[in-house]
Homo-oligomer: A and B are copies of this chain.
Amino acid sequence: MNLKTLAQELGLSPTTVSRALNGYPEVSEATRQRVLSAAAAANYQPNTQAKRLATGRAMAIGHIIPISDRHEIVNPVFADFIAGAGEIYANAGYDMVITIVPDNLEARAYGELSSKGNVDGVLVHAPRLNDHRIALLDDLSLPYVMHGRVNGTRKPYSWVDVNNTRAFERATNFLLDLGHRRIALINGISDMDFARRRKLGYERALSARGITPDPALLTEGEMTEAQGHDSARSMLALPDPPTAFLTASLLSAMGVRRGIEENGLTMGRDVSIVTHDDELGYLRNGTAQEPIFTATRSSVREAGRRCAQMLISHIERGDTQPRSDLMEAVLVLGQSTGPAPKR
């Protein structure tokens, strides 16, 4: 069933039917109703490709996911972010197209997406230090929004991010207030902008109390359970072990907890943990009312929604004015923290 035959059946021109369906005023209310009910009866849906070609709008938004042997971008956070963004897309009538690409071909993938015209804009994930994608996208003049910020760029751009520095500064202060002085940071990959900011917040809080960050209490890497476990194990074996851990993900925190318990210590009494919690659907920090870990909490799904919203409004308004949205993390109290043990 297509526009033409639908029009014929109604004894109308395709023009009129198209206008009736798309809500243009140049058609009487009577015929509009007639068209709408006929379309519904025939289960007519305008062909997407034709519509796209005619309007010049792809009605789709791209996400490019680089894959490498070195590290995994397809992480648990990704799935939740996608879910949030996808909700918004669906409501706004956009398709979400995801491209998986070897990371050495990432730049090319953006170029092709743009020149082949199959998306109206892109959402950019996991910005790194001096991210080259920002220049690339400005070049292509393809609308985009970044999930996270880029350090070392002069040009303005649109982004949605959590206030990572502040969150980790607060978390560190919270531990300092409890009397902890040896605080370890189990961080993400140092190249990642968010990891850099978290470290900054941590260091800032320490320095403010006259404590120099100890490199022996810092791990940077993939945020897995194993990372947390291995870090905790080796750090707890130090002559002057940490009494508290700050971790960048729930998975790492779980690993740290295991490391603590393996040493016959009790989390929350002997050793404290504060973690960042992205509120992933499948990796919950206890319940909303009763968290297990004390955590800086910020929903990545909500971040997905906001990114999507922002990008769509850029696209639809043709609005090139960069916008930004800084989300504040909430510090929630769990059972994983307590006063620093006396020596």
- On A, residues with C-beta under 8 Å from B are 1, 43-50, 52-53, 58, 60, 65, 67, 72, 74-76, 78-80, 82-83, 86-87, 89-90, 95-101, 111-112, 115-118, 222, 224-226, 251, 254, 257-258, 261, 281-284, 286
Contacts A53-B50, A76-B282, A116-B45; is A96 near B95 (CB within 8 Å)? no
Contacts A53-B50, A224-B283, A282-B251; is A115 near B67 (CB within 8 Å)? no
- Neighbouring B residues of A76 by C-beta, 8 Å: 76, 79, 282-283
User: A interface, by DSSP: helix, strand, loop or mixed?
Assistant: mixed
Contacts A53-B50, A87-B100; is A115 near B283 (CB within 8 Å)? no
- Neighbouring B residues of A67 by C-beta, 8 Å: 83, 87
Most B CB within 10 A of own CB, among A80, A90, A282: A282
A118 to B97, CA, bound (A): 11
- Asked if A284 and B99 make an inter-chain contact with CB atoms under 8 angstroms apart, the answer reads no
- Asked if A95 and B118 make an inter-chain contact with CB atoms under 8 angstroms apart, the answer reads yes
- Neighbouring B residues of A90 by C-beta, 8 Å: 99-101
- Asked if B65 and A115 make an inter-chain contact with CB atoms under 8 angstroms apart, the answer reads no
Identify 18 residue pairs between A and B in the complex whose beta-carbon atoms are under 8 Å apart, listed by A's number.
A1-B115, A45-B116, A47-B117, A48-B116, A49-B53, A49-B117, A74-B80, A74-B83, A74-B282, A75-B281, A76-B76, A76-B282, A83-B100, A95-B97, A97-B97, A225-B254, A226-B286, A258-B258
